[in-house]
Structure 1
Amino acid sequence: MKMAYILFDKMTALDLVGFYEAVTWLGILKAQENVSWHFCSNKEQITDDRGLTIQIKHVCPDLSDYDLIFIPGGMSTRQLRFDTEFISWIQTARDAEYKVFVCTGALILGAAGFLTGKRATTNPSAYDLLEPYCSEVVQERFVRDGNVFTGGGVSASIDLGLYFVESLTNENVVRQVQEAMHYPYYSPFTNKQGS
């Protein structure tokens, strides 16, 4: 599985890191074959909303080359959703099998047209902003609708990552990941949303 983590200025780092930490265990535990990932952006360097600067090696790659795209949230998504150049790049992911977004990253997913007719969630502070993009805003920690996965606010990224791992594997694997992360708060299959 080849994954693209989409980064941008003023993103919230925990939105990224929670999911990334959980899902990369798929490769470490050899629960999936050929697990790899790239950090991608529309520029060579980004700075998160707390001042963390990250160098980017993969600038505007064709996202159709990936099996999964992941977009974190952050206050800047409220403006970024109207950036036609950025959204056009995100739309190159139309053929990616899995589309995963945490927090207000769902606004980017919606602006790219990937939430049409879907159920989704986001940070509770942005439920009203998400409404025009999807069929139903679900007030849950994470939601799955087909192969589109959305997570609520910030720390929900960890739970969404574990849920995604479980969705691709089984309860035994997700429990191994929880143990490795020392994260006892996720309960396998107790909050399954969508299909």
Structure 2
Amino acid sequence: MAAPVRFLALVFPNVTQLDLTGPAQFFSAPADATVDLAWKTRDPVVTDAGFAIVPTTDLADAPQADVLMIPGGQGVFDLLDDPETLDFVRRQAAGARFVTSVCTGAFLLGAAGLLVGKRATTHWNSHALLGLLGAIPEQARVVRDGNIITGGGVTAGLDFALTVLAEVFDEQTARAVQLGYEYDPAPPFDAGTPSRPEADQAQVQHTIATRAALREPVVRRAAAALAEVSA
């Protein structure tokens, strides 16, 4: 009997929980799949929603992933210069069939040097910064470039998860998961991205500016460190 497909997700303080738990829920559905959550310790990790998630393994003992997933959230920017986490991501990526991210989790892949020359996406509020880490930013819900699969902001993680399931298993499996969880989005408003007609453009511009002020210095430091390693 074949070994189950192992999905391994990083969990960290101030993670956006839906980036993590949405895809993890979908990934756990196939009978021949396992999902592990890894962090530095197995102590509960507080998410940006205020509640905690308990890791199933620590970074040192984490099993090799078939699919490595990095979720996003403001907490990811605290890890862009964290050697232990970057080493973990690189080590896992080297043996993984697919290396993936949701939302701003793409920045950790970028800081680890895994997006250089790769098409990738992230949340619209920081999309323009992704190129600083050598990525080719692409506006889409899900972007695949080789074995790198990146999802856009937060709820795009569900589309991302179905895309990954179709690649790892097959489209029939992905459709069964979609049906089982009644994933049939029909939002009451048409304001889900900056390009939608009901999106508040003042909110868009304010959010992009504030996120850039908060995140760009961190991303530039990560880019400089990456350049030193590559030199």
**TM-score normalised by structure 2 residue count:** 0.72
Q: Distance in 2 between matches of 1:64 and 1:95?
A: 11
Secondary structure at the aligned position of 2:30 is classed as helix
What percent of counterpart residues are identical? 32
Matches within 5 A, 1:51-70: 51-61=50-60, 65-70=64-69
Q: Distance in 2 between matches of 1:129 and 1:77?
A: 14
Shift of 1:64: 6.9
Q: Distance in 1 between matches of 2:85 and 2:104?
A: 15
Instruction: Answer whether contact 2:24 2:35 (CA < 8 A) is retained.
Output: no
Q: Choose 81-90 or 147-156, whichever is displaced more.
A: 81-90
Counterpart of 1:180, as a letter, is G
Higher relative contact order, chain-length normalized (CA < 8 Å, sep 6+)? 1
Secondary structure at the aligned position of 1:99 is classed as strand
Structure 2 runs not aligned, ≥5 long: 187-231
Structure whose CA Rg is larger = 2
Matches within 5 A, 1:1-195: 1-27=5-31, 34-45=32-43, 46-61=45-60, 65-93=64-92, 94-185=94-185
Instruction: Answer whether contact 1:40 1:61 (CA < 8 A) is retained.
Output: no
Offset from partner CA, 1:45-74 (integer Å, 9 cap, x none): 211012111222411135672211111100
Name the CA shift for 1:21/1:64 in 2 (closer, same or farther; >3 Å). Answer: closer
Q: Distance in 1 between matches of 2:165 and 2:82?
A: 32
| Structure 1 outlier segments of 4+, above 4 Å | none
CA RMSD of superposed structures (Å)? 1.9
Shift of 1:173: 2.4
Offset from partner CA, 1:72-124 (integer Å, 9 cap, x none): 10012122212222212222112211111000000011111111221000001
Counterpart of 2:33, as a letter, is V
Shift of 1:133: 2.0
Instruction: Answer whether contact 1:63 1:96 (CA < 8 A) is retained.
Output: no
Instruction: Answer whether contact 1:41 1:60 (CA < 8 A) is retained.
Output: yes
Q: Distance in 1 between matches of 2:20 and 2:135?
A: 25
Q: Distance in 2 between matches of 1:163 and 1:172?
A: 12
Name the CA shift for 1:55/1:18 in 2 (closer, same or farther; >3 Å). Answer: closer
Counterpart of 2:46, as a letter, is T
Instruction: Answer whether contact 2:42 2:56 (CA < 8 A) is retained.
Output: yes
Q: Choose 123-132 or 105-114, whichever is displaced more.
A: 123-132
Tell me how many residue pairs correspond in the alignment: 180
Q: Choose 121-130 or 149-158, whichever is displaced more.
A: 121-130
**TM-score normalised by structure 1 residue count:** 0.85
